[in-house]
Structure 1
Amino acid sequence: QIRTDTLFNSKQVISILVLSKTFSNKFHIELSYNNPDLMTTSAFGENNNAVAALNGSYFDMDSIAGVCYLEVNDSVINRTRTPKLKWAKPDSVINGAVIITKENNILVQQVKPEQFYETSKEEKVVLVSGPLLLLNTQKTSLPDIKFVTNRHPRTFLCTTENDILFVAVDGRRSKAEGMNLKEAQNFLLAIGCVAAINLDGGGSTTLWIKGEGVINNPSDLTGERPVSNAFLIVK
Structure 2
Amino acid sequence: MMKKYWLLPVMAGMLLSCHNTRHLRSGTTAVKVLKDPTGWVTDTLSPGLIHYHFAGYYTPSAASQNVNVIEVDLNNPRYQLKIAEVRPSDSLSAVAARIPGALAAINGSYFEIVDGLYSGFFKSDDTIRTQVTIPKDHRLFWKHDAAFYYDTAQQTAGILYGNNESYNQLRYANVVSASPMLIYQYKPVGETFAKPRHTPLDSLDYEDPDRHQGVRHPRTAIALTSHKQVLLITVDGRDKQAAGMSARELTQFIQHYFRPEHALNLDGGGSTTLWIKNANTPTGVVNYPTDNKRFDHFGQRKIRNYITVVEK
TM above 0.5, one fold? yes
Which amino acid in the other structure matches residue 278 of structure 2?
G
* CA deviation profile, 1:34-53 (whole Å, cap 9, x unmatched): 23x21111122111121111
Task: Report how many aligned residue pairs link the two structures.
Answer: 228
1:178-217 matches, cutoff 5 A: 178-190=244-256, 191-212=258-279, 213-217=284-288
1:31–1:65 Cα change, 3 Å: farther
**Deviations 1:80-131, CA, capped at 9 Å, x for gaps:** 242666xx6232x4211010124243211112x43333344x2011111111
Give the distance between the partners of 2:118 and 2:99, measured in 1 at CA.
Answer: 20
> Does the 8 Å CA contact 2:236/2:272 hold for their aligned counterparts?
yes
- Relative contact order higher in (CA < 8 Å, ≥ 6 apart): 1
Distance 1:151 1:59, change over 3 A: same
Partner in structure 2 of residue 152 of structure 1: 217
Q: Look up the equivalent residue of 1:219 and give its one-letter code.
A: T
Provide the aligned C-alpha RMSD in A: 2.2
Please say if residues 38 and 64 of structure 1, whose CA atoms lie closer than 8 Å, have aligned partners that are also in contact: no
Kept after mapping to 1: 8 A contact 2:194/2:247:
no
Q: Does 1:48 align with 2:99?
A: yes
* Alpha-carbon distance between aligned partners in 2 of 1:9 and 1:62, rounded to the nearest angstrom: 37
Matching of residue 38 in structure 1 with residue 80 in structure 2: no
- Are 2:194 and 2:211, in contact at CA under 8 Å, matched by a contact in 1? no
Q: Report the secondary structure of 2:254's partner residue.
A: helix
Q: Tell me, what secondary structure is at the counterpart of 1:2?
A: strand
Q: 2: CA distance between counterparts of 1:178 and 1:63?
A: 31
How far apart, CA to CA, are the structure 2 residues paired with 1:192 and 1:216? 23
The within-5 A match list for 1:84-99 is 89-91=140-142, 93-99=143-149
Structure 2 residue 118 is matched with structure 1 residue 69 = no
Moved more, 168-177 or 186-195: 186-195
Tell me the residue number matched to 2:291: 220
Unaligned runs of 5+ in 1: none
Aligned mate of 1:27, from 79, 84, 108:
79
Identity %: 25
SS in 2 for 1:123: coil
Going from structure 1 to structure 2, the CA distance change for 1:39 and 1:185 (only over 3 Å counts) comes to same
In the alignment, is the contact (CA less than 8 A) between 1:68 and 1:128 conserved in 2?
yes
Q: Judge conservation of contact 1:58–1:66 (CA < 8 Å) in 2.
A: no
**CA separation of 1:61 and 1:211: change in aligned 2, threshold 3 A:** farther
* Distance in 1 separating the partners of 2:237 and 2:172: 34
The whole-number CA distance in structure 2 between the counterparts of 1:22 and 1:142 is: 32
Distance in 1 separating the partners of 2:117 and 2:219: 20
The aligned amino acid for 1:204 is S
Structure 2 unaligned segments of length 5 or more: list them: 1-52, 196-209, 294-298
The whole-number CA distance in structure 2 between the counterparts of 1:216 and 1:32 is: 21
Distance in 2, matches of 1:198 and 1:10, equals: 21
CA deviation map 1:60-98 (0-9, x unaligned):
38889963111224422111242666xx6232x421101
Provide the residue aligned with 1:177 in structure 2. Answer: 243
Instruction: Give 2:231's match in structure 1, choosing from 137, 147, 165.
Output: 165
For 2:173 and 2:289, locate their aligned partners in 1 and report how far apart those are by CA, in whole Å. Answer: 30
**8 A contact 1:28–1:104 mirrored in 2:** no
